[in-house]
Structure 1
Amino acid sequence: MSKRIDLDIVVPLYPLMPYFQDRTRELAEKFTANHPEYRIRVTGVDWLSVPQTIHDAALKGEAPTIAQYFYTSTRDALDARRPDGSPLFTSVERAIAGRTEILGEPVVLGDVEPAARHFYTYDGAVAAMPPLTSTTLLYANTTLLERAGITEVPLTWAGIEAACRAVTALPDGPAHGITWPNHGWWFQQSVAQQGALLADRDNGRSGRAEKLYLDSDAMLAYVEWWRGLHRAGLYRYHPSRVNTEVDWNRNFRAFADQEVAFVLTTSVEAARMAQAGRDGGFVARACRMPYNDRVPYAGNVIGGDALWLASGLDQETEDGALAFMQYLNTPRTAAERHRETGFIPVTGGAIELLEQEGWFGRNPHFRTALDQLAANSGSPAARGALLGEFAAIQNVLTTAMHDVLATDVDPRERFARANAEAQLLLDGYNDAYRGLRPRGPIRVG
């Protein structure tokens, strides 16, 4: 047998979730059993370090064949360069070039759920292949709601406020009605729902984002609603010692212990929330994230990550990498990944397979995220923003929100300052990309 063709893959290591590295290695072994001409080497890197690790490797000419980036680092991946200044990655869709199979593996990129496919579409083509997709959901204690006379879970901001008031008014009701972490994802979601942008140039999708809109009317509408719930004693805040850290488990425990009737968190938590209800003797229902019904609903954005394909590969190496990407998202593999992790089954084939096997009938809480993303309008607002320094910009937002919740600062004034601070971060990133100033460390989150 001739020398094997090496495919090097970097995958993120998430806290308490060793699944992804281990499972990718298992699937690599199965793939190479069918394609013995290839050898796949999987390296796990702390998820916060992936962009910097890839950048450093590229400067040494040691970039991997495939790299898995968190969604907030999409602009970093688009901007990643080799020492000669050429792009480090190439569009997966353009590399597939209309083929329906590669090395005998059916091409499934076009079957990826639209919200995920649209998020990674840039310059007219899908840039990366998403294996992991999530969104934000509302989880409701319907047992507690029914005691308060509420038979339908509200889906609007006004409805949530009214339900929280009814629940906390019960003689033995909880002290608060709802909780969610002060995290940057919520600002993205709520602005997108209202059809508003976080940045110019169609959220950075029709060109590099140059100007931020973090103090927009849509942002302030969300901030004022959140502050109003908090001031009325309806929202339970769990501030951390460092505002950029999020204790997701404290929000989960508040819901599991019935200290609140609602919690907002990731769709990945659907099974855990349902089990918390069974353990606590109440019914926990997964529902779509509440929205501002004073404006048309545009859609919720995704989370998760995607596989990026190195540019400049020889044909055999590129075909092996593309074939493995498709193999990672075959209907059976994507369906099993969903069952094991809670991430959304990312292709239509996987969803159809799960439907046929009765999975969603037995586990309706997993269907909610699909329905929510299916309502996405596909507009630049609903597709989500592509920003340099996105993680640091998120931290600017969460710090500003902490100040709004914890002090008497005026929200409009505080978010105007936050916008100015974030604008400096974006300007610095763009200047570094253009070579006008030294590039700092890449941050994600």
Structure 2
Amino acid sequence: MSKRIDIDIVVPLYPFMPYFLDRTRELAETFTAAHPEYRIHVTGADWLSVPQAVADAALKDGAPTIAQYFYTSTQDALDARRPDGSPLFTSVERAIAGRTEILGEPVVLGDVTATARQYYRHDGAVAAMPPLTSTTLLYANTTLLERAGITEVPQTWAGIEAACRAVAALPDGPAHAITWPNHGWWFQQSVAQQGALLADHDNGRSGRAERVYLDSDAMLAYVEWWRGLHRAGLYRYHPSRVNSEVDWDGNFRAFADRQVAFTLTTSVEAARMAQAGRDGGFTVQTCRMPYNDRVPYAGNVIGGDALWLAAGLDEATQDGALAFMQYLNSPRIAADRHRETGFIPVTGGAIDLLEQEGWFRDKPHFRTALDQLGANAGTPAAQGALLGEFAAIQDVLTTAMHDVLVTEVDPRVRFAEANAQAQQLLDHYNEACRGLRPRGPVRVG
């Protein structure tokens, strides 16, 4: 046999789910058994360090063929460059070039759920192939709610507040009624739901984001609602390390131990939440994330990550990489990945297969995330923002919210400060992209 064609792929290592490295290696072996002309090398890097690891490799002319970036690093991927200044990645959709199969593998990019495709659409084409998507959901202890006289889980901010007050009025009820982690995803979701933007140029979609809107009316409406729940004793706040680390497990335990009636967390937790109810002797209902009904609902945004294709590959290597991407999202594999991880099934084919197998009939708590994302209006607000230093900007938001919850600071004043801090981060990032200053972290004041 002639020399095999090498494909290198870097996948993120998530501390909460070590599944992906080993599973991707297994699937690479299955793929290469059917395509023996290829050899796939799968390595992992800490999920937040993937962009830097790939950038370092590119400087040494060793960039991977495929890199899997977390969604907050999308702008990093779009801006990644080789030493000669050329783009490190190319559009997956343009590389597919309208083909319906590659090396015998059916092309499924067009079958990826609309909200996921929209998030990764840039410059008129889908830039990357998302294998993992998620969203934020509300989980309700309906056994406790029924004791409080609530027979239908509310979907709006006002409805949730009223339900929380009813739970708090129970003579033997929990000390608090609702909890969720102080995490940057919630701000993105709530602003998007209200049809508002996090950044200019249509959330960075009609041009590079240059201004941030962290102190918008929509942001402050959410912050004030959150603070109001906390001040009324309805919201349980439990930071892990003051304001820099999210206590996901503490959030889960509060719900599982019946310390609250509601919690908000990722859709990936649906199975765990349902099991907590079974273990604790209460019924759990999975519901859409509550929204502000004073303005039209625009949609919730995704989380997850995507596969980015290196630019400048020879035809054989590029086709092998594209075929492997399609294989990773083929209906059976995508359906099994959903079953095994809780991430949303990412293609219509996978959803249809799960429907045929009775998965959603038997486990309806997995259907809620699909329905929520299916209600996305597809506007720039609902698509979600493309931002440089997105993860750091999320931290600015969570620090500001921590201060609002634990001090007497005026939310409008504190979030104006947060906006200025985030603007510094974005300015530094954009100037680095233009070659006006070195890349790297910037201290904000």
Normalised by the shorter chain, which TM-score bucket?
over 0.9
Q: CA deviation at 1:441?
A: 4.9
- The correspondence of residues 16-415 of structure 1 with structure 2, limited to 5 A, is 16-415=16-415
Secondary structure at the aligned position of 2:429 is classed as helix
Separation in 2, partners of 1:174, 1:383: 37
Separation in 2, partners of 1:143, 1:240: 29
Separation in 2, partners of 1:127, 1:157: 35
C-alpha RMSD over aligned residues: 0.9
Q: CA deviation at 1:295?
A: 0.1
The list of structure 1 runs, each at least 4 consecutive aligned residues, that deviate by more than 4 angstroms after superposition, is none
Write the letter of the residue equivalent to 1:398: T
- The correspondence of residues 420-431 of structure 1 with structure 2, limited to 5 A, is 420-431=420-431
Is the contact made by 2:425 and 2:442 (CA closer than 8 Å) also made in structure 1? no
Q: CA deviation at 1:208?
A: 0.3
Is the contact made by 1:52 and 1:442 (CA closer than 8 Å) also made in structure 2? no
Q: CA deviation at 1:435?
A: 0.3
Secondary structure at the aligned position of 1:42 is classed as strand
Is the contact made by 1:156 and 1:291 (CA closer than 8 Å) also made in structure 2? yes
Separation in 2, partners of 1:20, 1:143: 36
What fraction of aligned residue pairs are identical, expressed as a percent?
86
Write the letter of the residue equivalent to 1:220: L
Q: CA deviation at 1:240?
A: 2.5
Write the letter of the residue equivalent to 1:80: A
Q: CA deviation at 1:442?
A: 10
Write the letter of the residue equivalent to 1:421: Q
TM-score normalized by the length of structure 1: 0.99
Is the contact made by 2:205 and 2:380 (CA closer than 8 Å) also made in structure 1? yes
Specify every segment of 5 or more residues in structure 1 that has no aligned partner in the other structure, as ranges: none
Write the letter of the residue equivalent to 1:151: T
Separation in 2, partners of 1:306, 1:218: 28
C-alpha distance after superposition, 1:91-149 (max 9, x if no partner): 00000000000000000000000000100000000000000000000000000001111
C-alpha distance after superposition, 1:197-226 (max 9, x if no partner): 000000001110000110000000000000
Secondary structure at the aligned position of 2:265 is classed as strand
Write the letter of the residue equivalent to 1:241: R
Is the contact made by 2:138 and 2:262 (CA closer than 8 Å) also made in structure 1? yes
Write the letter of the residue equivalent to 1:218: A
C-alpha distance after superposition, 1:21-75 (max 9, x if no partner): 0000000000000000000000011112101000100111000000000000000
Q: Provide closer, same or farther for how the CA distance between residues 291 and 280 of structure 1 changes in structure 2, counting only shifts above 3 A.
A: same
Is the contact made by 1:135 and 1:301 (CA closer than 8 Å) also made in structure 2? yes
Q: Provide closer, same or farther for how the CA distance between residues 442 and 54 of structure 1 changes in structure 2, counting only shifts above 3 A.
A: farther
Separation in 1, partners of 2:2, 2:241: 57
Which residue of 1 is the match for residue 15 of structure 2? 15
C-alpha distance after superposition, 1:414-445 (max 9, x if no partner): 000100011000000000000001110599xx
Secondary structure at the aligned position of 2:49 is classed as helix
Secondary structure at the aligned position of 1:400 is classed as helix
Is the contact made by 1:389 and 1:442 (CA closer than 8 Å) also made in structure 2? no
Separation in 2, partners of 1:234, 1:242: 20
Q: CA deviation at 1:242?
A: 4.0
Q: CA deviation at 1:253?
A: 0.4
Is the contact made by 1:11 and 1:67 (CA closer than 8 Å) also made in structure 2? yes
C-alpha distance after superposition, 1:263-285 (max 9, x if no partner): 00000000000000000000011
Is the contact made by 1:174 and 1:258 (CA closer than 8 Å) also made in structure 2? yes
Q: CA deviation at 1:18?
A: 1.7
C-alpha distance after superposition, 1:387-428 (max 9, x if no partner): 000011000000000000000000001000100011000000
Separation in 2, partners of 1:151, 1:345: 30
Q: CA deviation at 1:241?
A: 2.0
Write the letter of the residue equivalent to 1:394: Q
TM-score normalized by the length of structure 2: 0.99
Q: Provide closer, same or farther for how the CA distance between residues 442 and 79 of structure 1 changes in structure 2, counting only shifts above 3 A.
A: farther
Is the contact made by 2:198 and 2:212 (CA closer than 8 Å) also made in structure 1? yes
C-alpha distance after superposition, 1:310-339 (max 9, x if no partner): 000000000000000000000000000000
Secondary structure at the aligned position of 2:312 is classed as coil
Secondary structure at the aligned position of 1:15 is classed as coil
Secondary structure at the aligned position of 2:251 is classed as helix
Q: Provide closer, same or farther for how the CA distance between residues 23 and 253 of structure 1 changes in structure 2, counting only shifts above 3 A.
A: same
Separation in 1, partners of 2:316, 2:423: 43
Write the letter of the residue equivalent to 1:197: L
Q: CA deviation at 1:168?
A: 1.1
Separation in 2, partners of 1:307, 1:48: 15
Secondary structure at the aligned position of 1:140 is classed as strand
Is the contact made by 2:428 and 2:442 (CA closer than 8 Å) also made in structure 1? no
Secondary structure at the aligned position of 1:48 is classed as coil
Secondary structure at the aligned position of 2:305 is classed as strand
Separation in 2, partners of 1:441, 1:6: 34
Separation in 1, partners of 2:426, 2:244: 18
Separation in 2, partners of 1:382, 1:59: 36
Write the letter of the residue equivalent to 2:339: R
Secondary structure at the aligned position of 1:158 is classed as helix
Secondary structure at the aligned position of 1:77 is classed as helix
Is the contact made by 1:51 and 1:442 (CA closer than 8 Å) also made in structure 2? no
